[in-house]
């Protein structure tokens, strides 16, 4: 029976290579070359006044820019098909990032540095906002997955939530022999929504009304503790509350990191559609008044 071919070192290296460094920064070099040529032609153009959006050079840059933008929007569709080779998803993503950055040069040269309160400038501003949000997305995708992995360790999100529910059951059992006032402290944690507080709380990781934190503080400041009386049941509650606080910190950090990526998509994608709409109006207006 024929043995399976072992992957070469080059293939293994490609598997672990980030999309930013893909193929030795191939698409970065292509994007820099395109930008350099565009700048060179603009710099040595003797036409007066300088080329603008209505010149042959401007139309050329505008056409290249529009085609690039339309191609860049195809990444969302491309993600649904995983294929190897030159046009692998990693290669496509690398091209998306670097060719998208080249639009800063191409789009700016297309305007001829002429701006005003019109749809043409609106399209340019939207393009820069899309690029800016894209840069944030690149930084996020380069760092957040590693941070998520480091935070959760060997556990999954579901396992972290199961662990939290297990601690709550232990707290419930530990509260049974306690006096009414001490049991109320435990209920402060059990009846609390640990993830309440809305979007701001999730993004910042700050939950000022956290019931577990308040319960832990109340246990430590309980009169029996202040008087130095021993209380094994209250000691157990404190241990469990401390364990729950640590578990909550871990889950909240996990949710915060995931929210960064989710909210970025909710900003980047609508901005992209707004840009395409503005481009359509921009192109129609240009040809209407031509």
Tens of pLDDT, residues 25-78: 899 999 999 999 999 988 887 666 667 777 888 889 999 999 999 999 888 766
Structure-model confidence comparison of residues 81 and 158, the more confident one: 158
| Average pLDDT, integer, range 204-221 | 88
| Co-location of 71 and 200 in the same domain | no
| Average pLDDT, integer, range 174-189 | 88
Structure-model confidence comparison of residues 15 and 125, the more confident one: 125
Give the H/E segment covering residue 139.
helix 119-152
| Co-location of 192 and 239 in the same domain | yes
Angular region, 101: left φ>0, alpha ψ -120 to 50, beta rest: alpha
| Average pLDDT, integer, range 104-126 | 91
| Co-location of 36 and 112 in the same domain | yes
Percent of the chain whose pLDDT exceeds 70:
85
The Cα 134–Cα 161 span in angstroms is 32
Q: Is the pLDDT of residue 136 over 70?
A: yes
pTM for the model: 0.76
Cβ-in-10-Å burial (0-12, 13-18, 19+) of 231 comes to: middle
Q: Is the pLDDT of residue 3 over 50?
A: no
Return the pLDDT at 83: 57
The answer to the question of residue 12 being in a domain is no
The token pair at 231 is: 């209380």
The answer to the question of residue 14 being in a domain is no
What's the whole-number average pLDDT of the chain? 84
Give the H/E segment covering residue 79.
none
| Co-location of 86 and 144 in the same domain | yes
Q: How many domains does the chain have?
A: 2
The answer to the question of residue 282 being in a domain is yes
Return the pLDDT at 86: 56
| Co-location of 45 and 145 in the same domain | yes
The token pair at 156 is: 């999954």
Return the pLDDT at 176: 87
Do the beta carbons of residue 151 and residue 258 sit within 8 Å? no
Return the pLDDT at 2: 46
Q: Which domain holds residue 168?
A: 162-261
The answer to the question of residue 1 being in a domain is no
Do the beta carbons of residue 50 and residue 109 sit within 8 Å? no
3-state secondary structure 9-75: HHHHHHHHCCCCCHHHHHHHHHHHHHHHHHHHHHHCCCCCCCCCCCCHHHHHHHHHHHHHHHHHCCH
């Amino acid at each position: 029976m024929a043995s399976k071919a072992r992957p070469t070192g080059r293939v293994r290296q490609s598997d672990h290579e980030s999309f930013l460094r893909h193929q030795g920064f191939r698409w970065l070099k292509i994007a820099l070359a395109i930008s350099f040529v565009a700048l060179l032609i603009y710099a040595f153009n003797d036409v007066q006044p300088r080329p603008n959006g209505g010149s042959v050079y401007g139309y050329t840059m505008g056409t290249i820019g529009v085609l690039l933008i339309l191609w860049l929007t195809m990444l969302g569709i491309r993600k649904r098909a995983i294929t190897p080779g030159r046009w692998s998803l990693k290669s496509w993503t690398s091209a998306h990032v670097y060719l998208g950055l080249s639009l800063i040069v191409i789009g700016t040269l297309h305007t001829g540095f002429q701006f005003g309160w019109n749809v043409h400038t609106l399209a340019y501003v939207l393009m820069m906002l899309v690029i800016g949000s894209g840069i944030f997305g690149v930084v996020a995708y380069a760092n957040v997955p590693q941070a998520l992995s480091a935070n959760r360790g060997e556990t999954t999100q579901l396992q972290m939530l199961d662990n939290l529910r297990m601690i709550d059951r232990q707290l419930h059992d530990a509260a049974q022999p306690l006096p009414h006032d001490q049991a109320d402290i435990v209920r402060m944690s059990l009846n609390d929504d640990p993830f309440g507080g809305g979007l701001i709380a999730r993004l910042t990781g700050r939950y000022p009304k956290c019931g577990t934190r308040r319960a832990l503080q109340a246990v430590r400041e309980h009169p029996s503790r202040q008087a130095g009386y021993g209380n094994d049941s209250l000691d157990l509650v404190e241990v469990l509350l401390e364990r729950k606080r640590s578990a909550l910190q871990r889950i909240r950090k996990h949710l915060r990191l995931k929210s960064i990526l989710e909210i970025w998509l909710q900003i980047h994608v609508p901005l992209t559609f707004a840009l395409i709409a503005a481009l359509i109006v921009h192109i129609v207006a240009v040809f209407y008044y031509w």
